[in-house]
Homo-oligomer: A and B are copies of this chain.
Amino acid sequence: MNTADLGLPDPEEREAPSRKGGGEPGAPPGGNWGRVDVPSTALFTDHYELTMLQAALAAGTARRRSVFEVFTRRLPEGRRYGVLAGTGRVLDAVENFRFDEPMLRFLRDRRIVDATTLDWLAGYRFGGDIWGYPEGQVYFPGSPLLRVEGSFAECVLLETVILSILNHDSAIAAAASRMSSAAGDRPLIEMGARRTHELGAVAASRAAYVGGFTSTSDLAAGFRYDIPTVGTAAHAFTLLHDTETDAFRAQVDSLGRGTTLLIDTYDVAEAVRHAVQVAGDGLGAVRIDSGDLLLVAHRVRQQLDDLGATDTRIVVTSDLDEYAIASLAAAPVDAYGVGTQLVTGSGHPTCSMVYKLVARAESADPAAPLVPVAKKALGGKTSLGGRKWAARRLDADGVAEAEVVGTGAVPPGLADRQLLVELVKGGRVVAREPLDAVRDRHAAARANLPLSATQLSRGEPVIPTEYV
């Protein structure tokens, strides 16, 4: 990568950054890749959603007004806060949730639902309302992250795709946020595409950007979400050439001396010498991908400085996680590349968000009052019924001190601290926003938590959830 892409000031202005970040919304840059990956999101749905629909249509209960909420009963063990990501993707998925003819034929041929239900599905468009925490916001156990309201029929169908997106993207964003805390001002490059599903990787890049990453190696993420893309070189490139010097020369000749040379294919000290011989002291950066990074980074920094390459940066990669990043805080490292641990959520590859019916009308009459409902069987999986609001209470210094969740009237002191915003109104998406705004929101929300939020050690949620 050129150092400009690392997000660091470039002493020689060798090259302007080749792209800016986070240009959602608007048409995808390429134009041929829509807001969703497939023509319709309607089959990202569990079989039982459709059979429940069929039974409810037949029983006359499908039209009962219903409120579903997405929340999680707990954070992953030891985590201090959660990060909501994926809301923008949810809005696109809801908008594109239509049963086209091939899908209907599939459902008919496999006898998954009856003819009445197929007819109903053929006309399906979500026409209800969605409120939720704005994307990038932090959350805690019980936070009502998304509230979907409409007929039972139109809402129940969305369960699976909403949870898929939020559970995946929020897991990545939470890991990214911890890593970006640990990295401080140093840029973080998302390099995990090869470690996860090819389209999961694109969503992971997006979530990582929300969580504070600077750039991605994944071209599809650049194409789709306008996230800055960067690259260095692989060992294969060095091995392709007859000597390491040949490889470095080929790279520098073509990409300029602002490029990043990979220095651990053979002997690191030799490689640093070759690198500066070829590129001079204006070499952009070197990458270290193996060994004791702390030790090697110090040695390489010393050697680069001795060779006069004092502006040459050091990028480290190699199975980094937030702990490894933190342990390198005092090392002469200028940027981190993170792969596996980012896209697998650093030990927590999914969240435990659920989509629960919390209230429904007494009858199909549109004017029928809502009744709070909740599962009551023993075994820990109980929920709080009723349509909820949430607010974050601040202490005297303006720091978050509690997540307050309630079902009744909002206490006056919390009215202007409410967290849910309107996202979809009568089936129409009303809250698209650029990804950079989401990223900024996350940084602000995290900064507003007590300082212990960014401790990497295991602990309780950094603020309690209070039910009123």
The residues of A with any CB-CB pair to B shorter than 8 Å are 1, 18-19, 29-33, 37-39, 41, 43-52, 54-59, 61, 64, 66, 68, 93, 100-103, 105-107, 109-112, 114, 152, 156, 159-161, 163-165, 167-169, 191, 193-204, 217-220, 222-223, 229-237, 239-242, 246, 249-251, 253-255, 259, 264-268, 289-292, 340, 343-345, 349-350, 352, 355-357, 360, 362, 373-381
CA gap between A430 and B218 in the complex, in Å: 29
A31 CB to nearest B CB, Å: 5
Which of the residues B1, B223, B236, B289 comes within 8 Å of A52, measured between beta carbons? Answer: B236
| Complex contacts, A93 vs chain B, CB 8 Å | 198
Candidates B61, B163, B352; contact of A250 at CB < 8 Å: B61
Taking CB atoms, residues of chain B closer than 8 Å to A105 are 30
Q: Which 6 pairs of residues, A with B, have the shortest CB-CB distance?
A: A48-B231, A47-B231, A30-B102, A290-B379, A59-B250, A291-B379
Greatest chain B CB density within 10 A among A1, A45, A58, A204 is at A45
User: Given A43-B219, A110-B222, 14 more contacts at CB 8 Å?
Assistant: A1-B47, A18-B112, A48-B217, A58-B253, A106-B222, A110-B229, A161-B198, A163-B195, A164-B201, A239-B373, A240-B357, A240-B360, A264-B379, A267-B377
Contact yes or no, B167 A217, CB < 8 A: no
With contacts A46-B194, A161-B198 taken as known, whether A356 is within 8 angstroms of B236 at the C-beta atoms is yes
CB distance from A326 to the nearest CB of B (A): 21
Q: Are B218 and A46 in contact (CB under 8 A)?
A: yes
* CB-nearest residue of chain B to A37: B37
C-alpha gap A33/B58 in the complex (Å)? 31
- The complex places the Cα of A135 from the Cα of B454 at a distance, in Å, of 43
Inside 8 A of A45's CB, which chain B residues have their CB? Answer: 193, 218-220
CB distance from A29 to the nearest CB of B (A): 5
Give which listed residue, B32, B44, B110, B345, contacts A18 with CB less than 8 A: B110
CA distance A63 to B53 in the complex (A): 58
Residues on B with beta carbons closer than 8 Å to the beta carbon of A259: 51
Q: How far is the CB of A47 from chain B (nearest CB, A)?
A: 3
Note all chain B residues with C-beta closer than 8 A to A106. 29-30, 219, 222-223
Contacts of A109 in B (CB 8 A): 29
Residue A199 contacts which of B37, B48, B102 (CB distance < 8 angstroms)? B37
B350 & A344 in contact (Cβ 8 Å cutoff): yes
Our pick among B41, B168, B265, B352 for the contact of A375 (Cβ within 8 Å) is: B265
> What are some 10 contacts across the A-B interface (CB < 8 A)?
A30-B105, A32-B39, A48-B231, A48-B232, A50-B231, A55-B254, A103-B223, A106-B223, A264-B375, A343-B350
CB pair B103–A255 under 8 Å, yes or no, is no
Bound complex: CA A203 to CA B196 (Å)? 11
Please measure, in the bound complex, the distance between the C-alpha atom of A84 and the C-alpha atom of B194, giving whole angstroms.
Answer: 16
Find out whether the CB atom of A33 lies under 8 angstroms from the CB atom of B38: yes
Tell whether, in the assembled complex, residue A38 and residue B39 are in contact, meaning their CB atoms are under 8 Å apart. no
B253 and A290 within 8 A (CB): no
Residues in B with CB closer than 8 Å to A255 are 51, 54-55
Quick check: B54 and A234 within 8 Å, CB to CB?
Answer: no
Verify B251–A55 contact, CB threshold 8 A: yes
Q: Which of A19, A249, A357, A379 has the most CB of B within 10 A?
A: A379
CB contacts (< 8 Å) of A111 on chain B: these are 18
A152 to chain B: which residues have CB within 8 Å?
236, 240
Docked pose: A327 CA to B37 CA in angstroms: 40
Q: Chain B residues near A357: list those with CB within 8 A.
A: 235-236, 239-240
Provide the bound-state CA to CA distance between A362 and B61, in Å.
73
Given contacts A68-B236, A290-B380, contact A200 B44 (CB under 8 A): no
Is the Cβ of B236 less than 8 Å from the Cβ of A193? no
Given contacts A52-B237, A290-B381, contact A164 B196 (CB under 8 A): yes
Asked if A54 and B110 make an inter-chain contact with CB atoms under 8 angstroms apart, the answer reads no
Q: Which residues of B contact A38 (CB under 8 A)?
A: 33, 37, 199
